[in-house]
Amino acid sequence: MLTAKQHELLRFIQHRLDETGISPSFEEMKDALELKSKSGVHRLISALEERGFIRRLPNRARALEVLRPLDEAGAARSSASSKAIGSHSALTNVADAPPPPQPANDVIEIPLHGRIAAGMPIEALEDTQTLPVPAALLGSGDHYALEVSGDSMIEAGILDGDFALIKRTDTARDGEIVVALVRNEEATLKYLRRDGGKIRLDPANAAYEAQIYMPDEVHVQGKLAGLLRRYH
């Protein structure tokens, strides 16, 4: 069962898609639901996505798809107050008179922490730069970006010069692509495997060999959440 705000947001998104064929921007969703910041919209979007009501279309900053119709979000909600009903009326009015389509402008600035090896490990650089990223590429949680250096992950579609979008975490499942800090000195982007009591960092390029370490030599600092690529 969805909360009142999740239900209102789902209705608003579906109305806008029905009327214009274009997803509302995060700013429009924030205003329609009378939220104080777009972070509240991100949380609602993530909750709807986790429950299978919507999905974000990859590589587009303003693209949502409704997977389940509104009647699956619950019947008339006894928990919705008169304010929620008023909000529904306001949302319907917004959908009836949608503004002209605007360029996608939901962008989040995340820290850009230098270059990371996708070949042999190199020292990960720290700096104070930021990278603008379409919000639709990021889910919940804290993120940062690293510029990829090397070609050992090309078979996973990760190329030299790409920007790897990393969700901060210190845990990962076998087979996930992670940022692994090796011996507290060097960082690399690899598939994580646990093999016979050791940690194996696997490349995605037959020209490179796996790197094998003791568990206390490798610390997960994040896992791959997305990629940005520039074409020159």
Q: Which member of 5, 30, 190, 223 is catalytic? A: 190
Rounded to an integer, what distance in angstroms lies between the CA atom of residue 152 and that of residue 206?
A: 8
DSSP classification of residue 100:
P
AA letter at 98: P
CA 143 distance to own-chain centroid = 8
Question: What is the H or E stretch that residue 60 is in?
Answer: none
Rounded to an integer, what distance in angstroms lies between the CA atom of residue 53 and that of residue 130?
A: 32
Does 5 qualify as catalytic in the annotation? no
Nearest to 88 by CA among 173, 175, 10: 10
Residue pointed to by tokens 């060999």:
209
Confirm if 183 and 215 have CB atoms less than 8 A apart: no
Q: Which member of 5, 152, 167, 223 is catalytic? A: 152
Residues sharing a CB contact under 8 Å with residue 3, sequence separation 6 or more, in sequence order: 47
DSSP classification of residue 24:
P
Does 36 qualify as catalytic in the annotation? no
Phi, psi of 154, deg, nearest 5 = -65, -30
Active site residues: 152, 190
